[in-house]
Amino acid sequence: MTEMFKNLIAGEWASAGNASRNINPSNTNDVVGEYAQGSVEQMNDAIAAAKAAFPAWSRSGPQERYEILKKASDEILARKEELGRLLSREEGKTLAEGIGEAGRAGQIFAFFAGECLRLSGEAIPSVRPGVGVEITREPVGIIGMITPWNFPIAIPAWKIAPALAFGNCVVIKPADLVPGSAWALVDIIQRAGLPKGVLNLVMGRGSVVGQALLQHKDVHAISFTGSVSTGRKVAEACIASSPMKKVQLEMGGKNPLVVLDDADLKIAVEAAVTGAYFSTGQRCTASSRLIVQAGIHDRFVEACIERLKGVVVDDALKSGTHIGPVVDQSQLDQDLKYIQIAKDEGGKLAWGGEVLKRETPGFYLQPALFTETTNAMRISREEVFGPVANVIRAKDYEEALALANDTEFGLSAGICTTSLKHATHFKRNSEAGMVMVNLATAGVDYHVPFGGRKGSSYGPREQGAYAKEMYTTVKTAYTLA
Ligand code: NAD
């Protein structure tokens, strides 16, 4: 019998009238579970529960919060193989990637357990005689979280952990396509000793429970990760609500990887292939635009194709698989649509792009590499969000930098070069929030800020010590001595 997973409201698991089937993209006959599809009423109940829990939780001490977050971290890390397997089964990234992501969620909770103990303020003299000034940070209040399907445990973790560490209450709505990992995470955190109502989970459709979360007057802030088009709606709803909500948006990318003539070819090919195609290219930081200097262009393309020939696309849970399936039929349709658009616009499909058959029915796509593309083509300008990348030729470093920055996105950017001068110049002049030298654009640490510029991000950074900018509000207090 298929297991039924409920919403968590006020510390109790609550059934919903409807449920959705969570399907394994490596084998569409395999149902991971039935997950509750919450209603507007359930979302309102969850927000009311968070509101009721806030006065006590916001005044709880750092030791209590530390212990809960640390306990959650310990359980996530102890169960990372099992959680990673669930993640790979529902999302389609390989088992190694799934376990890596689950481990990362555990490390994030350990980091923010430490942050509970590190919150500090300032006491400074006033410009007025006899007056003292204190600057402190307080919790923001009720935080609504809306997350995408592609990092189903890490993104909920990097939002929930800092929110709780700094004394906020949370209502999270994970992606309806892949809710299982978020459910497992919330279950672990709740059992770590969190008071009822501090953390609430309402699964379901964005247009129903997501909208209800955005429109509720008792929600003080929204942290969103997802597409640009949804992000814009989220921001509009946050500004239109009364009072306005604090908002953080992490959205798409069209990340460039520049390869200069003086690059180490092996390093460049590894950065390009792992950055563009691993995790099935379904990463906001994927290196989807490969901007390659003319002198190394042909050798680079040839070496990428050789490397791609050895890449195994198969069931995410099978050992030996390098790239799992695309997440679902609609994403596969989008990938194929862009492959056709790139061909129609004059790009040359140098490798891949075929739908593959495997032992089990799933959404298998051979990684696609286009050459002879320009930065003006749609394949260079719009996020595909699949295992599709295109090579753009550049005559020199200056042109490569200009092409890298000629995009409405600004999440991550990379350069492969042995020139210290060009690496240094690129780090300073790239219009991206994260810059990589001789590394793939995807793959970041959990203890430092994450986020972008331009159309990729809006509001404070996520992760590391910078997360407090989102999850605390600053108070300035004056005292006449
Ligand atoms: P999406 O925008 O379709 O959905 C994201 C979330 O928003 C889901 O939970 C969805 O149910 C919800 N939602 C949809 N419509 C809504 C509405 N009207 N009101 C409220 N909520 C609504 O994105 P997706 O397809 O799940 O994820 C892929 C996108 O996420 C890509 O664009 C990718 O680049 C981006 N992403 C960005 C980052 C980052 O940190 N920058 C990380 C991962 C993914």
pLDDT tens per residue, the chain (481 residues)?
678 899 999 999 999 989 999 999 999 999 999 999 999 999 999 999 999 999 999 999 999 999 999 999 999 999 999 999 999 999 999 999 999 999 999 999 999 999 999 999 999 999 999 999 999 999 999 999 999 999 999 999 999 999 999 999 999 999 999 999 999 999 999 999 999 999 999 999 999 999 999 999 999 999 999 999 999 999 999 999 999 999 999 999 999 999 999 999 999 999 999 999 999 999 999 999 999 999 999 999 999 999 999 999 999 999 999 999 999 999 999 999 999 999 999 999 999 999 999 999 999 999 999 999 999 999 999 999 999 999 999 999 999 999 999 999 999 999 999 999 999 999 999 999 999 999 999 999 999 999 999 999 999 999 999 999 999 999 999 999 8
Taking the whole predicted model, whether its pTM rises above 0.85 is answered as: yes
Same domain, 174 and 271: no
Distance between Cα 156 and ligand 1 center (Å): 12
User: In a 3-state reduction of DSSP, which class is residue 225?
Assistant: strand
Distance between Cα 336 and ligand 1 center (Å): 20
Concatenating the DSSP letter of every residue in 61-125 gives -HHHHHHHHHHHHHHHHHTHHHHHHHHHHHH---HHHHHHHHHHHHHHHHHHHHHHHH---EEEE
Atom of ligand 1 nearest to the CA of 176: 11
Q: Where are the alpha helices (DSSP H) in 329-417?
A: 329-344, 378-381, 397-405
Same domain, 311 and 177: no
* Beta carbons of 183 and 203 less than 8 angstroms apart: yes
- CA–CA dist 313, 364 (Å, integer): 7
What Rg value do the Cα atoms of the chain yield, rounded? 23
- Whether 443 is covered by a domain: the verdict is no
Whichever domain contains 31, its CATH number is 3.40.605.10
* Beta carbons of 6 and 19 less than 8 angstroms apart: no
**Crossing angle between the packed helical segments 265-277 and 294-309, to the nearest 10 degrees:** 60
Domain residues for the domain of 219 are 4-252+448-480
Residue of 22, 149, 177, 230 to test ligand 1 pocket, by largest number of atoms within 8 Å of CB: 230
Question: Structurally, how many domains does the chain consist of?
Answer: 2
Helix or strand holding residue 154 (H, E): helix 154-165
Evaluate: CB of 230 within 6 angstroms of ligand 1. Answer: yes
Same domain, 269 and 122: no
Same domain, 298 and 167: no
- Whether 294 is covered by a domain: the verdict is yes
Same domain, 233 and 287: no
Atom of ligand 1 nearest to the CA of 383: 32
